[in-house]
Amino acid sequence: MMRLNELLRLMRPHQWVKNAFVFTGLLFGHAWHDANLVSSALMACAAFCLVSSAVYVFNDIVDVEQDKLHPKKSQRPLAAGKVSLPAAVVLAALLGVTGLVLGKFASNVVAVILLAYASMNVAYTLRLKHVVILDVFIIATGFMLRILAGTLGIGIQPSQWLLLCGLMVTLFLGFTKRRAEIIALNEDKAAHRKVLEHYSPVLLDKMIGVTAAGLIMSYSLYTMNADTIRIHGTPNLIYTVPFVMYGVFRYIYLLHHQNRGGDTAHDLVRDPHLLIVVGVWLVTTVLLIA
């Protein structure tokens, strides 16, 4: 039983919450009444869960020696010696193949998007995570591919506003992740993640400020756009903007005063303020556009 628990930990199931981005097409495309689209979106989300877990396992395999020196990552199953390297390799292969097959059942486009996501993350793990700024854009691209899987992948035309807002929020989360790593690792930052030697707190704070402002402005303009009002049949989405602003400001507060921001999935479920504001935003949005 312990072995199975460690294999499950290696898959990082708490990170699956990020795959909720797949459902943005159903929500903002008014497609939740179409059973076929809902079924395809669920399969696409499940496929992303499996493939993303395969990527996490692959990353741990490549970085196992480096993780042993990290204050937190040393507790991961592979770095702690609780899962053997051959078992991790087999697990990554099974997750990846199963995820791609499941994606193929959703649609050929979803399968291609999953393959692109996996290939990009392999390149990221092996080389691109050491390239300053590009590393964060690759993290953001992973989220954008989730949005595309839940729109283009299942036959929903993605809104340009949706893609812009998605880009802003994912870049914001990417730069806050790097800032959190610098706070946590301090002088040893370059030893644990080479790219951090090219980042400084001042530089990252500026990038966080720019992307936070871009996120709030792009979402605000989206709610007031004439096409948005026509598609959703309401001019009242503007009243959800304060929830977005509060969530952004709360996240920045957690980053600087509670040393969080390094793991979005954990921060979301551990902080009641974030959990409540996201829930209230979602419920309010659904009520307004449904």
* Residues 13 and 139 grouped into a single domain: yes
For 49, other C-beta atoms within 10 Å of its C-beta total 21
Does position 1 have pLDDT exceeding 50, yes or no? no
| pLDDT of amino acid 191 | 52
> How many angstroms separate the CA atoms of 45 and 23, rounded?
8
Together in a domain, 37 and 130: yes
- C-alpha 57, offset from chain centre: 16
Domain match, 168 and 278 both: yes
Indicate whether 188 pLDDT > 60: no
Q: pLDDT confidence of 186, banded at 50, 70, 90?
A: low
Domain count, the chain: 2
Mean pLDDT for the stretch of residues 16-43: 90
pLDDT-based confidence at residue 9 (cuts at 50, 70, 90):
confident
- Let me know if 214 is exposed, middle or buried by CB neighbors in 10 A (0-12, 13-18, 19+): middle
Secondary structure (3-state) at 69:
coil
Same domain? For 202 and 174 the reply is: yes
For residues 11 and 120, membership in a common domain is answered with: yes
Q: How far is CA 46 from CA 6, 42, 173, in A?
A: 21, 6, 23
The pTM (predicted TM-score) of the whole model is 0.86
pLDDT digits (tens, 9 = 90+) for 120-158: 999 999 989 889 999 999 999 999 999 999 999 998 888
Query: Residues 202-229: what's their mean pLDDT?
Result: 94
Q: Is residue 121 within 8 Å of residue 142, measured between CB atoms?
A: yes
Domain boundary among 130, 158, 186: 158
Q: Can you tell me the mean pLDDT for 201-213?
A: 95
The percent helix, strand, coil of the chain (3-state, each to 5) is 85, 0, 15
At which of 96, 126, 158 does a domain end?
A: 158
At 225-258, the pLDDT tens digits run: 998 899 889 999 999 999 999 999 999 999 888 7
147 lies in the same domain as 97: yes
Angle between helices 241-257 and 160-185 (to 10 degrees): 20
Condensed to tens digits (0 to 9), the pLDDT of residues 155-168 reads: 888 888 888 998 99
Tokens of 85: 């390297």
Check which CATH number belongs to the domain holding 134 and give it.
1.10.357.140
DSSP single-letter state for residue 83: S
> Do 8 and 146 belong together in one domain?
yes
Listed in sequence order, the residues at least 6 apart from 229 whose beta carbon sits closer than 8 Å to its beta carbon are: 235, 237
Do 142 and 185 lie in one domain? The reply is no
The residue range of the domain holding 178 is 159-290
Give me the chain's average pLDDT, please. Answer: 88
- On whether both 144 and 203 belong to a single domain, the answer is no
